[in-house]
Amino acid sequence: MKKFYLSLLSFTAVFVFFSFNNSVQLNQNGLPIDSLEAEKENFVNIVKETIKGKEGVSSDSVFRDIQMLKGVPAENLLNIMNYGFSKALGVGCDHCHNTTDWASNEKNAKQISREMMKMSGQIRDMISNIKEIESEKATINCTTCHRGEIVPALKMKD
């Protein structure tokens, strides 16, 4: 009888383990979506706490090394970080940052992102010069290419 209960117990344990495992959804970079979202939210809140009362003030006078996003209100910069950059690439803040020193440029991905902003601006200008495009709002951003992946696709998925 004892043996029966023991095997039932281990069966339940295996079942619980697998059903838990199945519920972890991964993004296109193979990172668990839920914990990534929670972690980003947490970092945004930590930074927000340090800029209390200055949310509407220009990023370059609130943060320490703003080269591209000058004039953007501090709170908007955090939205760009969370929804514009992290989500577009499917990564956490730590892909580009040392999360104990946000102004540090030690990760290449951060400097690459500045160049990507420059490149995106150039492409936007080029698009607005294509006169035959009727849309007034023809534009691009990080999501246009990255679509949730670190390396943009070169071919359609099957």
Residues of the shown chain interacting with ligand HEC in the complex, contacts defined by CB under 6 A? 40, 43-44, 47, 63-69, 78, 81-82, 85-86, 89, 91, 93, 95-97, 102-103, 109-110, 112-114, 116-117, 120, 123, 140, 142, 144-146, 150-152
CA 2 – CA 39 distance, rounded (Å) = 44
Spell 41-67 as b/e; 16+ CB within 10 A means b. eebbeebeeebeeeeeebbbebbeebe
* CB of residue 38 to ligand HEC, shortest distance in Å: 11
- Which C-beta is closer to ligand HEC: that of 31 or that of 66? 66
CA 95 – CA 39 distance, rounded (Å) = 12
Contact assessment for residue 20 and residue 83, using Cβ atoms and an 8 Å cutoff = no
- Which C-beta is closer to ligand HEC: that of 16 or that of 71? 71
- Which C-beta is closer to ligand HEC: that of 13 or that of 133? 133
Amino acid in the structure at residue 48: K
* CB of residue 87 to ligand HEC, shortest distance in Å: 9
* CB of residue 105 to ligand HEC, shortest distance in Å: 8
- Which C-beta is closer to ligand HEC: that of 19 or that of 135? 135
End-to-end Cα separation, the chain, in angstroms: 52
